[in-house]
A and B are shown apart, each in its own frame.
Chain A
């Protein structure tokens, strides 16, 4: 009866400490930094100095000045395209892995995850040296006599951005989709087969619907990572490599326009949150039905 109040002090202290850490660390390292740039986004920049005068000018600039809005929309379009392609690719790969025997599954899965152990920059440089005019692909095709002149448009083009982003972020889509498929109880599939479902029906009516949460997660990961990437497009996209992340980044250099940079970062964050919310909403509706 008195258990709650009679707990010895050290125990309470320890419990308190654990809770404080549980709440405090994320608060300190995630929430506080985010709130701080949200706050900066309402400050004023005047003659190169950041003043603590609240303003909406930075948000207004996004909608009215220059090409912020246009670049934002272009970047969303690019991210959506990469997401769509990667969702299809990752689903196919995850299904392929799912159909192997358990022992082989792990090996194949690990081989697809291997790029995640490599530095992001090394991967971009590799992609560049493959796609370049004197790159591996062009040299190989010329050596094989497939082409006489190097294909110039491979690197430093929208295609290159597309390929690079898709390659870089594919593992982030495969993993959640595969994990969702992996959780499908074997007896569901057995039951479907017993009831006479063809492999195609099984895929359409059992496997894919149950894999949907993973597909949603994979799509959200891909979209967020692609949308925020300010390095890959710049490095492989040539004169078309200007994306929204790059605009945000550019405000923190000599321009020292932290308020505008923060406002644009808040918009970026809001967009990604919206993507997460949208995915969640779609999944919930799925459940209700």
Chain B
């Protein structure tokens, strides 16, 4: 039931109002807008006990859904929101998030050296987010079908596996992915000709797909209920979840590379209780929480060196793309194609 309700919340919060009305604790409440794995019940429990602040979590399944939720209330419905580096600018431009008050960020010292300067989250001199978790959009493959790890993304286009491939439904990342497979150097700033190439490549992929999916749980559910052997995934968690369910799957970053993402903790511009927001951020930026997150969900942590995640060097860190509106229009074209 827990898995079910989480899947529902994650993929379709737009339609449901499942989140229970939380009762605020003596020190108020902190409302998180987060991806799965960013507010483990054990951390929430410890945090609530330690601070007296109640935690209310709303899970989202994707970037699009998250910004729509923030925009709907100009951030007033949430206190802390996790935003990937590539989208930070959009949030900052829309004034949905406030600059980080480094004086209140007492646990900044816990950050690993490569994340300490927060350069990924700095816009016009102001820091808009604190690096929190990273990962990649890699390939999940069925180990029985592939005794040796597939080397190239091209296997997803292989007609042998027609109808056994699933792919992430996310306009921006799908286009990044297409560009990376085509070997385009800068997948975040495409020319007209490159856009046309990527569109054709993604339409070709579509013909090999069983379906698109949105959110980790949807990907896992579809994998477990159907005969799927390959997935352009939303991240390491997809493989972790499937392994937990007993599926023999592997996770790999093929030779073309993959998009890497870095999620930052940001403070909503509409928060009435910034102290509670910083209290949560300081709490989760502890080394032990980072290690626990890496262990439980397979995300890379910014406070603890992730084990087994040796491929960071081959990732292409996500940047703000040239034009979201255009990417969405092209993605709609791909999805409407016969």
* Residues of A in contact with B (beta carbons under 8 Å apart): 45, 48-49, 65-67, 70-71, 119-122, 125, 128-129, 132-135, 150, 152, 155-156, 231, 234, 237-239, 241-242, 246-247, 249-257
Contact A255–B227 (Cβ < 8 Å): no
Note all chain B residues with C-beta closer than 8 A to A119: 8, 16
Note all chain A residues with C-beta closer than 8 A to B225: 128-129, 132-135, 155
Note all chain B residues with C-beta closer than 8 A to A45: 325
Say how far B273's CB is from chain A's closest CB, in angstroms.
Answer: 27
Note all chain B residues with C-beta closer than 8 A to A257: 325, 328
B226 contacts the other chain (Cβ, under 8 Å)? yes
Note all chain B residues with C-beta closer than 8 A to A251: 328
Contact B226–A255 (Cβ < 8 Å): no
Q: How far apart sit A242 and B203, CA to CA, in the bound complex (Å)?
A: 14
Contact of A120 among B15, B90, B207, B323 (CB under 8 A): B15
Contact of B87 among A132, A237, A252, A254 (CB under 8 A): A254
Note all chain B residues with C-beta closer than 8 A to A256: 67, 71, 90, 94, 324-325
B119 contacts the other chain (Cβ, under 8 Å)? no
Q: A239-B211, A254-B63 are in contact. Are A231 and B12 (CB under 8 A)?
A: yes
Contact A48–B324 (Cβ < 8 Å): yes
Say how far B33's CB is from chain A's closest CB, in angstroms.
Answer: 14
- The segment out of B44-52, B139-147, B149-157, B329-337 that lies at the interface is B329-337
Contact A247–B332 (Cβ < 8 Å): yes
Sampled A-B contacts (5; CB under 8 Å): A125-B4, A156-B226, A231-B12, A238-B211, A256-B325
Contact A254–B172 (Cβ < 8 Å): yes
Say how far A226's CB is from chain B's closest CB, in angstroms.
Answer: 15
Contact B171–A254 (Cβ < 8 Å): yes
Contact A48–B163 (Cβ < 8 Å): no
Say how far A245's CB is from chain B's closest CB, in angstroms.
Answer: 11
Say how far B220's CB is from chain A's closest CB, in angstroms.
Answer: 13
Interface size in chain B (residues, C-beta < 8 A) = 45
Contact A255–B211 (Cβ < 8 Å): no
Contact of A67 among B15, B209, B332 (CB under 8 A): B332
Q: A133-B226, A134-B227 are in contact. Are A254 and B12 (CB under 8 A)?
A: no
CB interface residues, B 298-338, toward A, < 8 Å: 323-325, 327-329, 331-333, 335-337
Q: How far apart sit A252 and B210, CA to CA, in the bound complex (Å)?
A: 26
Q: How far apart sit A255 and B4, CA to CA, in the bound complex (Å)?
A: 29
Note all chain A residues with C-beta closer than 8 A to B206: 239
Q: How far apart sit A177 and B323, CA to CA, in the bound complex (Å)?
A: 49
* A interface: dominant SS: loop
Contact B328–A231 (Cβ < 8 Å): no
Note all chain B residues with C-beta closer than 8 A to A133: 225-227
Q: How far apart sit A156 and B327, CA to CA, in the bound complex (Å)?
A: 25
Note all chain A residues with C-beta closer than 8 A to B172: 254
Instruction: Give the most central of B12, B15, B93, B327: most A CB within 10 Å.
Output: B12
B212 contacts the other chain (Cβ, under 8 Å)? yes
Say how far A49's CB is from chain B's closest CB, in angstroms.
Answer: 8
- Other A-B contacts than A121-B8, A132-B226, A253-B68, 5 sampled, CB-CB below 8 A, are A48-B93, A125-B8, A133-B227, A252-B64, A256-B67
Give the residue name and chain of the B residue nearest to A61 (CB): B329
Give the residue name and chain of the B residue nearest to A251 (CB): B328
Give the residue name and chain of the A residue nearest to B7 (CB): A125
Say how far A101's CB is from chain B's closest CB, in angstroms.
Answer: 39
B191 contacts the other chain (Cβ, under 8 Å)? no
Note all chain B residues with C-beta closer than 8 A to A48: 90, 93, 323-325
Contact A255–B325 (Cβ < 8 Å): yes
Q: How far apart sit A150 and B331, CA to CA, in the bound complex (Å)?
A: 31
Contact of B12 among A121, A150, A239, A246 (CB under 8 A): A121
Give the residue name and chain of the B residue nearest to A149 (CB): B227
Q: A48-B93, A133-B226, A252-B68 are in contact. Are A67 and B8 (CB under 8 A)?
A: no
B224 contacts the other chain (Cβ, under 8 Å)? yes
Convert B46-70 into 0s and 1s, putting 1 for each residue whose CB lies closer than 8 angstroms to a CB of A: 0000000000000000111101100
Q: How far apart sit A239 and B332, CA to CA, in the bound complex (Å)?
A: 12
Q: How far apart sit A234 and B327, CA to CA, in the bound complex (Å)?
A: 19
Q: How far apart sit A135 and B224, CA to CA, in the bound complex (Å)?
A: 10
Instruction: Give the most central of B172, B207, B225: most A CB within 10 Å.
Output: B225
Contact B224–A254 (Cβ < 8 Å): no
For the complex of A and B, list the 10 residue pairs with the smallest distance between their C-beta atoms, beginning with the closest: A253-B64, A255-B328, A132-B225, A238-B211, A67-B336, A242-B335, A133-B226, A156-B211, A254-B324, A121-B8
Instruction: Give the most central of B15, B68, B209, B332: most A CB within 10 Å.
Output: B332
Contact B327–A255 (Cβ < 8 Å): yes
Instruction: Give the most central of A45, A132, A253, A257: most B CB within 10 Å.
Output: A253
Q: How far apart sit A140 and B8, CA to CA, in the bound complex (Å)?
A: 26
Contact A134–B226 (Cβ < 8 Å): yes
Q: A134-B225, A241-B211, A242-B335 are in contact. Are A250 and B325 (CB under 8 A)?
A: no
Note all chain A residues with C-beta closer than 8 A to B207: 239
Contact A239–B212 (Cβ < 8 Å): yes
Say how far B224's CB is from chain A's closest CB, in angstroms.
Answer: 7
